[in-house]
Amino acid sequence: MTLQQLKYVIEIVNSGSINEAAKRLFITQPSLSSAVKELEAELGVELFLRSARGISLTAEGVEFLGYARQVVEQTSLLEQRYLNRKPSRQLCSISTQHYAFAVNAFVNMIKKSGADEYEFTLRETRTYEIIEDVRTMRSELGILYKNPFNAKVIDKLLRENHLDFHPLFTANPHIFISAQNPLAAREYVTLEDLEEFPYLSFEQGEYNSFYFSEEILSTVFHKKSIHVSDRATLFNLLIGLNGYTISTGVVSADLNGENIIPVRLLADDQIQVGWIANHQLQLSKQASAYLAELRFVITEYGQELQE
């Protein structure tokens, strides 16, 4: 087992395929495949599952990846300290539901990384795809919420995929609306107050289940309903159509300006936001740095951390 083989495994996971990893490593695909097979033969375990859908880590592969990342990171630190070598390229991938505070933390993490070279990825995506990204190690971390309605389904899916949910904070439900919306001056609103306003939600594609909705109270009927795929479009429609969406109440003026405001929604429900990761995997330095920034941003917005 060599350091180069460890780097090969890490790059395959980061790239999502052997072909793409070979391009990034400037070697041929057969050479990379051969190196991985030699490593698997030496270890006596299968690290990757290969199928028509692509490549993914086995349970043993996930555990191996955690150790490999630690070794490569520590080697890089030794080289920087004693050989005056250039710091290695920083890597980090995060998948998240559409939360402004997740973006804030990502910005802070990059600014503080101090890396001359880096390749960071932030995916604002659908709930099921967040879980799938973390399961396949396309992302180290996922950010999503649970509540009494979806908890059993989400917990079962996480358990089946060897993922753990770590709570960050619990919020009372709010609506996001335009500062010009007729309800903007209200201290709180009810579902009855919202009946005539367009309801905006994030579409979930193939896995369009109530349990995967990014918004609580997903089974409530709405006279006017619009599904969108990205946060910028949703905010534009909040302003242009006097629509509303349901979320945590944590909104970033830095990123979204003063045009979007939260108003408390009176509903018998709560939103528990947390992060997910494989329970066998030790987080990389950059993923840990991202979590630190995420906790900082959350407390800045007045939320009490649960960890």
pTM score: 0.77
Kindly report the backbone phi and psi dihedral angles of residue 222, in degrees, each rounded to the nearest multiple of 5, phi listed first.
Answer: -125, 130
Is 141 strand, coil or helix? strand
- Interacting residues of 37 by C-beta distance below 8 A, sequence separation 6+: none
Check: CATH 1.10.3720.10 for 170-269? no
**How do residues 32-78 score in pLDDT, each as one tens digit?**
999 999 999 999 999 988 877 678 888 888 888 888 887 887 787 67
Per-residue model confidence as pLDDT tens digits over 73-129: 778 767 766 777 665 666 788 999 999 999 999 999 999 987 777 888 999 999 999
pLDDT of 255 above 80: no
Q: Which tokens in the block code for residue 114?
A: 């101090």
pLDDT given for residue 90 in this prediction: 64
Residue ranges, comma separated, of all CATH 3.40.190.10 domains in the chain are 170-269
Protein fold of 1-88? Arc Repressor Mutant, subunit A (1.10.10)
Cα 147 off chain centre by: 18
Q: Which residues of the chain form CATH 1.10.10.10? A: 1-88
Query: H helices then E strands: how many in the chain?
Result: 10, 13
As a whole-number percent, the residues of the chain with pLDDT over 70 amount to: 94
Q: Which residue has the tokens 């300006």?
A: 257
